[in-house]
Amino acid sequence: MEQVASSVVAGRLDHEPLREPLVLGHPSFHDVTEKIASIVERPPSWKYWLTLSITALAAAWGIFCIGYTIATGIGVWGLNNPVGWGWDITNFVWWIGIGHAGTLISAILHLFRQRWRTAINRSAEAMTIFAVICAGLFPLIHVGRIWFAYWLIPYPNQMQMWVNFRSPLIWDVFAVSTYLTVSILFWYLGLIPDLATVRNYVKRRLPKAIYSFFSLGWVGAARHWRHYEIAYLILAAISTPLVLSVHSVVSFDFAVSILPGWHTTIFPPYFVAGAIFSGFAMVLTLVLVARWVLNLQDFITLKHIDNMNRILLATGMMVGYAYMMEFFVAMYSGNEYERYVFLNRAFGPYGWAYWTMVFCNVAVPQLFWSRRLRRNVIVTFIASILVNVGMWFERFVIIVSSLHRDFLPASWDYYAPTWVEVSIYVGTLGIFFTLFLLFAKYVPIIAISEVKAILPQAQPKHHVSVTTA
């Protein structure tokens, strides 16, 4: 009896410990503003400048090599018959895959009311946009004559020609450009209230003017929030199938062809699972660094890391299942070319790449059966990088090992990249991290209004219902 009375008096405090809190340290609303918005106001540390110079240098070198490729022709790459797609398309698919976790975290976890996503959704969305920008570079460069790339868009022209909508490459153009546009809209819509918070927080004139402009005059009116919430929900609802469609369409680039090793119906779900897997790994890599550099341990807690590691474990197993299934179907098909491609994939000249992939994508995530390892920041960090190495090799294996031994043994070849291809890849890493560092400094890296809304004191308790809980 006494216990009941005490829980009635203590109200919300009493049943709080049942669940691990999403934000540590019991901050007030103003503490949240202060913590996140002050990152924008503070002058960056020397560590920030050092990292930014390294990544910007890599970006500049990559852009130079892109210019060299465009000026000279793609003969500067190691591609030749029969391997016509190499690092370019591998990098394209890899970056697109990384770009999937952002919308997955934002949209799917929002629909499933996973409130832990608020700590990481903003940086994951930003990561998506930057990854898709890096991805988009590769198809554009690899067409060779980039100045004709706009021919991929259906527009009335003096040649009186239209694009071929029966080609998966055109579907890809629509899927990737839609994904980039919708991701930017989703990201920006979520940013509007936070930009308004920063606008009222900063003191200096120029930043204030810039944040005022981009916050569109948001004042937090209830009549606006009502439209905002439903608009956000609709964008989440349409982004969810969009995420699944984009990587399915990317996989059609392969699956719709008749090449052994590419022509399989498992590709769409297999690519989507792999995309989510690599995307979460990249979110973990970035978030662990941001958490450490910007002291965000109270917002990005071990619980968040634990949850993301569980997703890594689950999607890693899906990918592992797909690897097995591909082999089974190749054997069961009775098609000798199909069988040969898969045996060649694992035991041929590119076997080392295949087994690297299996180790990184199937073996490494098994660590996360252990709760202790899921909550170990260093183990997670290393595993997240290994997963992305593995996922890069997955795309490399699919593309190159299927191409390098075609139907005519006389033309079999062993493809290796030139320094230009490697430099462009490193360059996109530089572009990606440069953009991310700029984002982390000048844009609220954590969704301020969303974090406030999940604090224990945020929502009305309707007084009576508290005591019955």
Partner 1 sequence: MVAKPKPLAIMGNFKDPDALLYAVSEIRKAGYRFFEVYTPYPIHGLEQAMGLQRSAVPYISFAGGALGLVTALLLQWWTGAVDYPLNIGGKPFFAWEFSVPVNFELTVLFTAFATVIGFLALCKLPRWYSDYQHDAGFRAAVDDTFVLSIESRDPLFSLDETRALLEHLGAEDVRLVEA
Interacting residues with partner 1 (CB under 8 A): 28-30, 33, 154, 160-166, 168, 170-171, 174-175, 178, 181-182, 185-186, 188-189, 193, 196-197, 199-201, 212-213, 216-231, 234-235, 238-239, 241-242, 245, 249, 252, 449-450, 452-453, 457-463
Q: Report the nearest approach of partner 1 to the CB of residue 461 (Å).
A: 6
Token pair recorded at residue 53 = 């110079």
Give the max Cα distance, the chain: 87
Kindly report the length of the chain.
469
Q: Report the nearest approach of partner 1 to the CB of residue 453 (Å).
A: 4
Q: What are phi and psi of 36, to 5 degrees?
A: -85, -45
Residue 164 and residue 467: Cα distance in Å, rounded? 64
Residue 236 and residue 103: Cα distance in Å, rounded? 8
Q: Report the nearest approach of partner 1 to the CB of residue 336 (Å).
A: 25
Q: Is 186 exposed, middle or buried (0-12, 13-18, 19+ CB in 10 A)?
A: buried
**CB-based burial, 415-453: b 16+ in 10 Å, e otherwise:** bebeebbebbbebbbbbbbbbbbebbbebbbbbbbbbbe
Q: Of the two residues 128 and 344, which places its CB atom closer to partner 1 in the complex?
A: 128
Q: Of the two residues 34 and 324, which places its CB atom closer to partner 1 in the complex?
A: 34
Q: Report the nearest approach of partner 1 to the CB of residue 261 (Å).
A: 21
Q: Report the nearest approach of partner 1 to the CB of residue 211 (Å).
A: 11
Contact 427, 58 (CB under 8 A): yes
Report in angstroms the alpha-carbon separations of 96 from 87, 132, 143, 172.
14, 6, 18, 11
Q: Report the nearest approach of partner 1 to the CB of residue 11 (Å).
A: 11
Q: Report the nearest approach of partner 1 to the CB of residue 70 (Å).
A: 28
Q: Report the nearest approach of partner 1 to the CB of residue 202 (Å).
A: 12
Q: Angle 168-201/205-214 helices, nearest 10 degrees?
A: 130
Q: Of the two residues 268 and 365, which places its CB atom closer to partner 1 in the complex?
A: 268
Q: Report the nearest approach of partner 1 to the CB of residue 250 (Å).
A: 11
Residue 413 and residue 292: Cα distance in Å, rounded? 46
Q: Of the two residues 183 and 356, which places its CB atom closer to partner 1 in the complex?
A: 183
Q: Report the nearest approach of partner 1 to the CB of residue 292 (Å).
A: 27
Q: Ramachandran region of residue 463, left (φ > 0), alpha (ψ -120 to 50) or beta?
A: left
What does the DSSP 8-state code read for residue 43?
P
Q: Of the two residues 189 and 331, which places its CB atom closer to partner 1 in the complex?
A: 189
Q: Of the two residues 32 and 400, which places its CB atom closer to partner 1 in the complex?
A: 32
Q: What are phi and psi of 83, to 5 degrees?
A: -90, 95
Contact 366, 312 (CB under 8 A): no
Q: Of the two residues 47 and 223, which places its CB atom closer to partner 1 in the complex?
A: 223
Q: Report the nearest approach of partner 1 to the CB of residue 324 (Å).
A: 28
Radius of gyration of the chain (CA): 24
Q: How far is CA 187 from the centre of its chain?
A: 13
Torsion of CA 90, 96, 100, 103, to 10 degrees: 180
Residue from 240, 318, 270, 227 nearest 93 by CA = 270
Q: Report the nearest approach of partner 1 to the CB of residue 372 (Å).
A: 35
Residue 190 and residue 214: Cα distance in Å, rounded? 12
Report in angstroms the alpha-carbon separations of 286 from 134, 280, 332, 344, 396.
16, 10, 42, 36, 23
